[in-house]
Amino acid sequence: LQHFLTTEGLSSTLLTQILDTAESFFGVIDKSVKKVPLLRGRTVINLFFESSTRTRTTFELAAKRLSADVLNVDVGTTTVKGESLLDMLQNLQAMQADMFVIRHSASGAAEFFASHVNPGVAVLNAGDGWHAHPTQAMLDAFTIRRHKGDFEPLRIAIVGDIRHSRVARSQIHAFNGLGAGEVRVVAPATLLPTDIESLGVQVYTDLSAGLRDADVVIALRLQRERMQGALLPSEAEYFRHYGLTESRLSSAKPDAIVMHPGPINRGVEIDSALADGPRSVILEQVTNGIAVRMAVMAMVLGTQAEAAGDSA
């Protein structure tokens, strides 16, 4: 694992190894172990060109729990001076960075960085445009495995704005790669991507049918920042047809878990009673993000160190 840019095409063995490595870090996130020294002396630079609450902070916490030095670059003040992305990257590399964590509104931004960094420097994708958010998908898979065990018998329903969602794409690739029994998407036709038929999912436009006998139900928000006017449903209309509530969840299995990558729009894609209720694992997802991001960072730097003949 030289970089971590997408879950598409990753083998079941590698996906499982990420989850197993994250499991091994669980003592660090429940604080029974304070820190591990795996990234001591390494420098991790967070470059977030889009806002983030969960991803940026859990990457930072993960790096700190691995004993790395972490820098959060204020890209707002840097880019205003007209510097190109490439020049910014080269200057940050000159400070001996070992790893970049990047979020950008342009699909392909993380690949662009990965193709321009020096040998031995790793790039982790923290979300690029509509394309991918691979660590989110892996923390979701980790959360599902902790509650449900093996993926093979599971029906997983992803409900909402699939079209604009990098999270949904990365989840679909990860869950299928891990051998999930059935991955469903549930959305109005206008919020489905044009290539949906090629993604290996069952497509539902009716919420009740899409939730039937589901083991896992994942709500996604309407990503208004990526929508054109014609696609924009009103919040009230959307909630009426696709908003998740306790009563609508009655067609799912009684022990179904409810997930959401955040941020939540209460009363739009999910009702507060469900988001805060006993079946919700939404805050657990956030906590699990620390262990999963520790796992990915440790595996990536382990690969880089091996390639350099280094034992660090």
Interior angle at CA 167, CA 89 and CA 227, nearest 5: 90
Alpha helices (H) along the chain:
12-24, 26-29, 54-65, 75-79, 85-93, 109-116, 134-148, 166-177, 207-211, 235-242, 272-275, 282-307
Chain position carrying tokens 């899409």:
210
Binding mask 232-261 for ligand CP (x = CB under 6 A): -----------------------------x
Q: Is 166 annotated as a binding residue?
A: yes
Q: Is 17 annotated as a binding residue?
A: no
Q: Is 164 annotated as a binding residue?
A: no
Q: Is 136 annotated as a binding residue?
A: yes
In the list 54, 146, 212, 266, the residue contacting ligand CP (rule: CB under 6 A) is 54
Q: Is 31 annotated as a binding residue?
A: no
Residue in 245, 228, 141 with CA at minimum distance from that of residue 191: 228
CB closer to ligand CP out of 127 and 177: 127
Binding mask 191-230 for ligand CP (x = CB under 6 A): ----------------------------------------
Q: Is 293 annotated as a binding residue?
A: no
CA 135 to chain centre: 4
In the list 46, 136, 170, 176, the residue contacting ligand CP (rule: CB under 6 A) is 136
CB closer to ligand CP out of 55 and 304: 55
CB closer to ligand CP out of 143 and 304: 143
One-letter identity of residue 192: L
> Please, are residues 242 and 249 in contact by the beta-carbon 8 Å criterion?
no
Residues 108-127 interacting with ligand CP (rule: CB under 6 A):
127
CB closer to ligand CP out of 52 and 251: 52
Q: Is 55 annotated as a binding residue?
A: yes
The contacts of residue 70 (CB under 8 Å, 6+ apart) are 43, 44, 45, 46, 60, 63, 64
Locate 257 and state its tokens: 């878990």
In the list 2, 21, 52, 78, the residue contacting ligand CP (rule: CB under 6 A) is 52
Q: Is 81 annotated as a binding residue?
A: yes
Per rule CB under 6 A, count of chain residues that contact ligand CP: 9
By CB under 6 A, which span of 14-22, 53-61, 75-83, 88-96 interacts with ligand CP? 53-61
When asked if residue 160 is in the footprint of ligand CP (CB under 6 A), the reply is no
Cα–Cα distances (Å) from 38 to 33, 121, 291, in that order, read 14, 16, 14
Residues 260-299 interacting with ligand CP (rule: CB under 6 A):
261-263
Helix (H) or strand (E) holding 102: strand 99-104
The contacts of residue 237 (CB under 8 Å, 6+ apart) are none
Q: Which residues bind ligand CP (CB under 6 A)?
A: 52-55, 127, 136, 261-263
Extract the annotated binding site for L-aspartate.
81, 166, 221
